[in-house]
Structure 1
Amino acid sequence: MGADTKKGAVHIIDIEGRSAAEIADSLRTLIERGALRPGDALPPVRTLAEHLGVNRNTAVSAYRQLMNAGVVITLGRGGTRVAGGAAVAQEGFAADTALRDIGTGNPDPARIPDPSHALASIARRPVLYGEPVIDPDLARWAQDWMSADLPPEIPMHLTVTSGAGDAVERLLAQALTRDDAVALEDPCFLTSIHTVRVAGYRPVPVPIDDEGMTVEGLRAALDHGVRAVICTPRAQNPTGASLSERRAAELRAVLRDHPYVLVIEDDHYSLLSQLPYHSLIGPEHRRWALVRSVSKFLGPDMCLAVTASDPETADRLAMRLTPGTTWVSHLLQRLVRALATDPEITAGIRAAGQHYAARNAAFAELLTTEGIPTSAGDGLNVWVPLTAPARAVSEQLMRRGWLARPGDEFALGGGEASDHLRLTVHDLDDDDLQKLAADLGASVRAVRR
C-alpha cells in the first residue's frame, strides 16, 4: 500500500526500519521520490514508534538525524514537517518589502571603498593554465597579514578561495564524510548552518557567551566525537561575541588532547574589528585553518578569502582548487591587494570599523533607556535580548514599519535565541535610531500585555 501524499497528511504506512539510521533512510527515500513533499507532516514520535515496534528514543533519534541534515524541521506543537527549499534562512536584504529592513547583516555601501582607481592599475599580462594559483603580490601581502596573528613556530601555508563560505565548505569536504559531526556555535552564522546541513554533516551545538565558545560546550562536543570545530574568534554572527584572551587559553587547553580535530577559525570581521585577535589554535595543534575574507570591508561582491592552514590541510585544499577551473581570478586577487595596501583605503576601513562600533553602541544605549538592557558587541549587528518571544515582537515591529530578524533563525539547539533579535542599524541616522528604539520598546510591551 502506498503512502498518502495529500498535502499536510501524516504518512506512516511506507516508513520502515528498526534502527534510527534505517528509519531516517526510509524517510529520506520517501522524500526523494516525492511521496513526502515540502510541508508534509511526519507522524508523531509515539505513533511512529508504536507502528514500527521500536523504542520511542529510536524514533526521536531518526527525526533528529533528519533535522540536523536540514531534511525536516520541527515546529514545536506544529509537529515535524518536511523542510522546503528555504529551510535555512539566508543573509541579505529581504526581497519585495516596503518595510525598513533592519535584518540585512550588510556593511554600509557608503563605506565600501571605490575600486575604480585601483582597477586601472591591475591590468597585466594574461594568466595561463599551469601557473601558480595565488598571485605573488597578494601572497606576500597575505603572508604578512596572517602570520602576524599566528604563533611563529607553526608551519603555515596559504590558499585563496572564493570567499569564506567557499573556504569552509572545501575545508570540511577534504576532512569529513557524510554524517560526521561538526561543532558549531549556537546561535550560529547562517552560512555555516547551511553548509553543514547541505553536506549531510551532523551539527553539534556549542553554547556561547560574551567571551565566545564555552569551555564546557566545546568539551561536550569533543566527547560527542566531532571531527571539526568552526569558531568565530571576533564579532561572532549573530551575537557580536569575541574570544577573550582567558577564554581562548582555556579552549586551547581543551583542544590539546584532540590535536587532529580540524579547527576552522572564521575571522570574517578582521580589519574592521575593534578587538584583538585571540585564537583557539595552539602551537601543538595538527589540523587547523584560519580563514579571513575581504567581503566585510571591501564589499560582498569581492568574493575572496585567504586561508592559512597546516601543510597537510593546505595540500588537500589545493587539490580542490584546480588551476584554470576553480581558482580565484588573478584580476580579483590583484584588485584586493591593490585596495588593501592603499593607505587612504586602509584608513577608511579603520574609520568604518569605528563607525559601526559607535552606531551600535549608541543604539544599545537607547535600548537600555527604553528598558531593554543591551550591550553592543563587535561586528555589524546588535544582538538584542528581549523579555518576550522575538517572533511576536518582530510582528509588532512590522506594524510599525520595521522588518527585523528573530534570533531563532540562527539557533541550533533552541535556548535563549528565540528571545533575541539580530538588528543591523549602523546605517540609521540619529532620528531613526531613536524611533526604532522607541518602537521596539513599545513592541515588547505590547507582546507582554
Structure 2
Amino acid sequence: MTSTVADQVRRDVVRGTAGEISEGIRNLISAGALAPGDALPPIRALADDLAVHRNTVAAAYRLLVAAGVVETQGRRGSFVRSIPLLDGEGGSFSPGRVDLASGNPDSALLPDLRAALGRTSYVPRLYGAAATEPLLDSWARSSIEQEVRRPNSITITNGAVDAVERLLTAHLTRGDAVAIEDPCFLASIGTLKANGFRAVPMDIDNSGITPQGLLRALESGVRAVICTPRAHNPTGVSMSADRAAILGSILAKFPHVMVIEDDHFSAVSSNRYYRLAPMSTTRWALVRSVSKFLGPDLRVAVVASDLDTGIRLSTHLRSGANWVSHLQQRLSAELMGDPEVVDGLADARAVYDRRRVILKDALSEHDIVIPDTLDGLNVWVPLNRDSEPVVDRLAERGWLVRDGSQFSATPDRRHRALRVTTSTITSEQAREFASALAEILAST
C-alpha cells in the first residue's frame, strides 16, 4: 500500500509541500484508488518515499483530517474516512413480535392531517416570497419570546435534526468538540458523526445534566452544548428548576460556548420548560419541532436564537433558495392554533402519561425499579448486566426493544439498559412484557 500511494502521489507532486501531498491523496480517494477504510502509509514511510521531512507529511495528514476525508485512530494510524453507519428511530416489521422499540408516537393521537389540509387557508407561494410563513412566525413569537426574554431571531428549519445540524455547522468546524447528554438522542449522535464533530459526554441523573458532567465538558474545551430540557430521549428525564439554575451559573463562566436546547416534546410534555442558557451566553438557540405531536411527516421546527445565529441560519434558508415548505409551515401554524387540536394534545399528554405508568407499575410488581421522573414516549430500564443478551432473548420471546448501548455518546461508554417505547402499550402487553423480562433476568 505504501509504495502504491507514494508512487501515485509522487506523480502529482511538484515540490512535495503539505498541500500538494494532501491534494494528491485526495485525488487518489476521489478516483477510487483509495477506498473508505484503507490505511494510509505511516508518516515516516511516506516521508522517506517522497524525500520530504516527516513533519511535512504529518501536516498533509492534518489537512486531510480537517477536510473530513481521513480519520486518525491513534497508534493504529490514519485511514480513509468511511461513511458512518447511523442508527435512527423507527420500527422494523417483524411478524409475531410486539414493537416496543420504534420511538414513534401513537398515530391514533395525531391530528388528522388529511382533514386539516382540506381546511387550510394556504395560498401558493412563489419564488421571492418571504422564507417564513407569517402565521407561523406570529405563533412562534407569541409562544417563545416570553421564555427567552432577550432579543431574538425566528428561523424555520426542516425539523429539529436539521436545525441542530445547521446550528453546529454555522458556528463550528470539523473536529470541534460538542458536549452531549449521555445517554443521548440517536439523531444527535448521528449528526456529530456525519459532520466530523467530536462528542464529549455529559452524565445525566433524574434532574438532567449533572453539574460535574457539564463542568468537565466545558473545561475540556467544547465549543457547543446540546441539551434536551424535558422528555429526554431515551431516559424521559426533564431538567428541574434548581438544576437549570445551577447549570446556568456554570455556563455563565463560558460565554463563548454555544448552547442548543432541543425541546422536541413541548406541546405534550408533562413538565415545565426551564431555560438552560444564561443571559451571558452569546450564541444560543431554542429548537421546538412538531413531529412528535403533529406527525413525523411534518418536518418543521421553530428556532429562536440570538440575532447573529439567526442571520447565519437564514443565509442558507433564504427566499428562493432552500426555504422550508410554506404548505408545511402554514399547516403547522393552523394546527397549533386550532382549539380542537390543542384539546387533542392535552388528551395525548394524559394518555402518554398513563401508558408510561402502566409499564412502570407492571415492572415494579417484579421488583424492577425505574425512576419516577418520566416523560416522553419511552421508558428507560437500567440493568445490572450487559443489555445486549437481554434484548436478544426478549426478541426470541416476541418483544422488540432498544439496547441502551445504542444511545451511548461515545463508544467507550456503553449503557446497560433497555429503552422501551410505551406510546401504544396496553395494560396486557405491559404485564406480559414485565413478566418476560423478569424471567429472563432471573435465568441469567
TM normalised by structure 1 equals 0.81
Match of 1:99 among 81, 97, 100: 97
CA distance in 2, matches of 1:203, 1:106: 25
Q: Is the 8 A contact 1:70 1:198 kept in 2?
A: no
Aligned to 1:115: 113
The alpha-carbon deviation at position 413 of structure 1 amounts to 3.7
Aligned to 2:142: 144
- Secondary structure of the residue aligned to 1:308 is strand
Quick one: which amino acid aligns to residue 397 of structure 1?
L
Aligned to 1:391: 388
The alpha-carbon deviation at position 120 of structure 1 amounts to 2.4
* 1:30/1:100 CA distance change after superposition, 3 Å: farther
Q: Per-residue CA shift, 1:246-291, capped at 9, x if unaligned?
A: 1100111011111121100000010111011111122222110000
Q: Per-residue CA shift, 1:330-368, capped at 9, x if unaligned?
A: 111111111111111111111111111111112012112
What pairs up with 1:127-138 in 2 under 5 angstroms? 127-138=125-136
Match of 1:371 among 350, 354, 367: 367
What pairs up with 1:32-431 in 2 under 5 angstroms? 87-95=85-93, 98-151=96-149, 154-375=150-371, 377-413=374-410, 417-431=414-428
* 1:246/1:330 CA distance change after superposition, 3 Å: same
CA distance in 1, matches of 2:131, 2:26: 40
Q: Is the 8 A contact 1:70 1:197 kept in 2?
A: no
Gaps of 5+ in 1: 5-24, 53-61, 75-80
* 1:308/1:427 CA distance change after superposition, 3 Å: same
Q: Is the 8 A contact 2:199 2:410 kept in 1?
A: no
CA distance in 1, matches of 2:280, 2:361: 43
Q: Per-residue CA shift, 1:368-396, capped at 9, x if unaligned?
A: 22121112511100000112211010111
- Judge which range, 185-194 or 111-120, deviates more: 111-120
* 1:84/1:434 CA distance change after superposition, 3 Å: farther
CA distance in 1, matches of 2:182, 2:400: 23
* 1:123/1:214 CA distance change after superposition, 3 Å: same
Q: Per-residue CA shift, 1:82-137, capped at 9, x if unaligned?
A: 99756331111125565222110000000000023321233444322222111111
Quick one: which amino acid aligns to residue 425 of structure 1?
T
Q: Is the 8 A contact 1:388 1:444 kept in 2?
A: no
- Secondary structure of the residue aligned to 2:415 is helix
Q: Is the 8 A contact 1:70 1:87 kept in 2?
A: no
> What's the RMSD between the two structures over aligned residues?
3.2
Q: Per-residue CA shift, 1:207-265, capped at 9, x if unaligned?
A: 11111111111111111111111100001111111111111001110111111211000
The alpha-carbon deviation at position 434 of structure 1 amounts to 0.6
CA distance in 1, matches of 2:429, 2:70: 40
CA distance in 1, matches of 2:368, 2:80: 36
The alpha-carbon deviation at position 28 of structure 1 amounts to 10
Gaps of 5+ in 2: 5-22, 47-60, 74-78
Aligned to 2:438: 441
Aligned to 1:10: none
Q: Is the 8 A contact 2:26 2:69 kept in 1?
A: no
CA distance in 2, matches of 1:374, 1:172: 34
CA distance in 2, matches of 1:28, 1:105: 40
Quick one: which amino acid aligns to residue 249 of structure 1?
A
**Seq. identity, %:** 42
* 1:141/1:286 CA distance change after superposition, 3 Å: same
CA distance in 2, matches of 1:3, 1:280: 54
CA distance in 1, matches of 2:294, 2:287: 16
Quick one: which amino acid aligns to residue 106 of structure 1?
N
The alpha-carbon deviation at position 414 of structure 1 amounts to 5.8
Q: Is the 8 A contact 2:161 2:188 kept in 1?
A: yes
Quick one: which amino acid aligns to residue 441 of structure 1?
A
CA distance in 1, matches of 2:381, 2:346: 25
Quick one: which amino acid aligns to residue 386 of structure 2?
P
TM normalised by structure 2 equals 0.82
- Secondary structure of the residue aligned to 1:307 is strand
Q: Per-residue CA shift, 1:269-324, capped at 9, x if unaligned?
A: 10111011111122222110000000011010010000000111101111010212
* 1:121/1:285 CA distance change after superposition, 3 Å: same
Q: Per-residue CA shift, 1:39-81, capped at 9, x if unaligned?
A: x9x99xxxx99999xxxxxxxxx9xxx9xx999999xxxxxx9
- Secondary structure of the residue aligned to 1:423 is strand
Deviating above 6 A after TM superposition, structure 1's stretches of 4 or more consecutive aligned residues are: 25-32, 48-52, 69-74, 81-84
* 1:136/1:171 CA distance change after superposition, 3 Å: same
